[in-house]
Amino acid sequence: MSRGPGPIDGNNRCSAWAGMIGTYLEQSCASYSQVYRCLIRLAPRVVVEGSDFMSKVMIPFDVRGYREAINRAVREAYLELKGRMVGEQVYGYSVAMHPDGSNIRAYLQSEEGLDRVAQKYVDSGRYQVTKGDLFKTLRVDLRWNCADGWLLASEASFAEVNEIIDRSFNSYWEEFSRSGCGELVYLENMAALVENRAAGVFAEEPNLVLNLYLGDQSDEDLLSWAKQVNEFEVFARYRKELKERVRAYKRLVFVG
């Protein structure tokens, strides 16, 4: 896989694009969004060339089209979710995706929503704590679990975004994954969060934590992404809350 006027030989294309991204991220002091902007200037589209031992060719990933679509989707999904949480204090907004870079969605959570999901677990009678208050401990443990109690944006908000991804992914998913398109989607999603923040979309919620979410990621992953898309004060509070979550989880006991 290559970017630019001419394709790299198919036998080498898989490592070429991934290596380019890795080099930029390891050696550059720029943010993820700045790295992406640098890469996007190199060429407007992803070009895939079949190799001698692979006859299938992936439909090119429309990077520019994706960039415009994800910027709109991040904004529209946030406004949609905010409209469903009128009067509530929102604290976290995450762009979610499958680890391979497909199936983009978004989640929003509020303090009131966190109260509701924590109370649900208390009422289930299936948890106890070794120390402290069960409800408060559950609140800390569940605070950054987007898959549990967070409000999910409608599929319509990301229809165009996922259509662009699926066009390439479904034509040859192995190549989509190997060639670095998934990493490109990660970078573009983070850039969309940064650009919408700069445009004032989240201005009414200055303490809102922006991030990515895969469902299967480490705290180190979450912190590395959050550091790129949030103001330092917001990031520092988020980092502290993730540490508190680890301690809360250790105090929880599942009793069936």
Residue 43 to residue 64: CA distance in whole angstroms? 10
Distance of CA 65 to the CA centre of its chain: 19
Rounded to the nearest 10°, the torsion over CA 76, 78, 84, 89 is -160
Going by the DSSP 8-state scheme, the letter that residue 101 receives in this structure is: S
Domain of residue 143, residue span: 2-254
How many structural domains are present in the chain? 1
Which tokens hold the place of 42? 């190199």
Q: How far apart are CA 163 and CA 177, in angstroms?
A: 17
Q: Would you give per-residue pLDDT tens digits along the chain (256 residues)?
A: 333 333 333 333 333 444 444 444 444 444 544 554 444 444 334 443 343 333 367 888 999 999 999 999 999 999 999 999 999 999 999 999 998 888 999 999 999 999 999 999 999 999 999 999 999 999 999 999 998 999 999 999 999 999 999 999 888 888 888 888 888 999 999 999 999 999 999 999 999 999 999 988 999 999 999 999 999 999 999 999 999 999 999 999 999 8
Confidence (pTM) = 0.79
For the beta carbon of residue 184, count every other beta carbon within 10 angstroms: 23
Position 90: which residue type? V
